[in-house]
A and B are shown apart, each in its own frame.
Chain A
Amino acid sequence: MKKTVLNQVHRDLGARMVEFGGWDMPVQYSGVIAEHIAVRSDAGLFDVSHMGEFEVSGPGAFAFLQFATINDLSSLVDGQVQYSALCYPDGGIVDDITLYRFGAEKYMLCVNAANIDKDFAWLQELEAQRKGNYQLLNRSVEFAQLALQGPKAAAILGALTSADLLSLKTYHFCESDVAGMSMIVSRTGYTGGDGFELYCAPEDAESLWQALMEQGSSQGLVPVGLGARDTLRLEKAYALYGHELSATILPLEARLGWVTKLEKSEFCGREALLKAKSGGIRRQLIGLRLTQPGVPREQYIVRSAGRDVGQVTSGTMSPSSRQGIALALVDTAAASGDAAFSIVIRGREVSAEKVKLPFI
């Protein structure tokens, strides 16, 4: 199993470790609910060094990425981050990514940990088909990544950096110093609140972790594991690859229509997605909230008007609302109909209502 450079730090903190996408990662320190609440009310620190980073550079970088990704790079400026995805020619999703523009000829892609090898092999395959004046590099081992998230994140980070955080807007980044170490400071995250993702050299990760904890602990900063990372993202209805997104799910089915720029120019998957759109999207990702006690879980069957209409892709008990919440991929007719929903839990139908997303 792969380990991040902070593995021993987590063990020393008494974290419970689990396997996630081939990595030995902390699932919780004090407890999922306490960590979740801390991120919503104060701040949390996550080790997300397992994420992958690719660089695409050179005069042909823009054209290559415009073909490889579904969002439109032409709207991106230097220092801006864009949420996007890689698709197969049939429109299925290879991965969802964030794309960083350092300059017109230099970009970084942040990809999911479990997909690093698959994504890079896929991009190399596209590269072989579309020769051009650009270079594709897998730089994942050169970065550790910490996510500092929550309403107090800016105050904690602000005390340790010369970066002008007041003018660093959401989905923008800069190269700066934090606690005397140089790194990428990105105002992004996976919790739905304010926060930062810090990309540093692996050898600096432990010093950065300690500096942030020392600065933040008096303001309520706590270490947060993958358990709360999942409940935090689910309350905000952010997709997780392998659950809401996969090679057999189209971005148009999974609420990624807003990043699927069908009109931009030719891109991998475009033909299939245009065809799917004109033929009618068969399934839709919706939000369900249980109106009776229970906890919805992945793969539980969703029923409406007496028939099975789909499955839960992610479900949990929302730590914020203490209600069962689920994202579910269901038939479009059911998704847009008026009939009530239920989720089958251990053979019993538990009532649910369709709700506007995000959940909170």
Chain B
Amino acid sequence: MDTLREILDPHFLLRNSVYVSLLVGFACPAIGIFLILRRLIFMGVALPQISSTGIAFAFSLPALGLISHTHFAHFAGDERLLAFVGGLGFTIAALLLLAFLERRGRGLVEGRVGTMYVLAGAWSILLLVKNPMGERGLLDLLRGEIIAVPDPELWLTLLSFGFVGLSLFLFQKEFLLVSFDPEMAVTLKKNVLAWDLFLFVLIGLTISVAVLSVGPLVTFGFLLIPPLTARLVARNMRQFSLLACSLGGGAALLGFAIAYRLDYPVGPTDVALLGFLYGAAFLGKHGLDWFGRRFAGK
């Protein structure tokens, strides 16, 4: 409790990291729900990796000769913004490419997503090895260290997730309709392609901002594990959404407190905690079912 009180203190040195963790904890599960409902879990793994490749690419622009060192130095204060643009650009491009290939209906979706994931991982490393900028923080980002979050980045995260949350709230019925029954949506004269693109942009924006703040590992963890856990116990869509976001937010706060107390990296601690909660919920649900059947049998 003392640790929780300490990290929630407005004068706490790492308060921005706490706030960003909490924002990621609430926002990623809200968007992850749609990845699970649309059975795009592999995409939830690949997209954070692709986003981090975009960030690595943005940081490598001088080394690649695409932007002069002078220009890059000029934008040094905005390097996080450049990284955000790189991450978002790569994520949206990957989403559009995957959507285009899916509409053509050839080949295996899992194969395409898997290939993108592997290539993105390889290129992230290749772009970083010859890049002095990468050493300054990108490797920490890829490891899921959430230590120094500047104020502008906190605001970027807050505004981006605010936009995503508001869009999901306002257009929930459209997103649900085109996800559940796109053919029915067409008969109701809904522009399914436009709504799908809008949802993909929200997914891309959430992932890019989250990867920039907490790295691909933590983003992937918060995108998928809280919704999968909530799906075990929820009985309707409202419970599913509220439970997934609450689990994400709760785990982000508790994970930060544990990591701070035990001097662990925050990201992996968060993901390990989410895994523990998932395991506990799984065992609890199936254990109760087992006892119920055994009791009913007697």
The yes or no verdict on A and B being binding partners is: no
Interface residues of B (CB under 8 A from A): none
Q: CB within 8 Å of B: which residues of A?
A: none
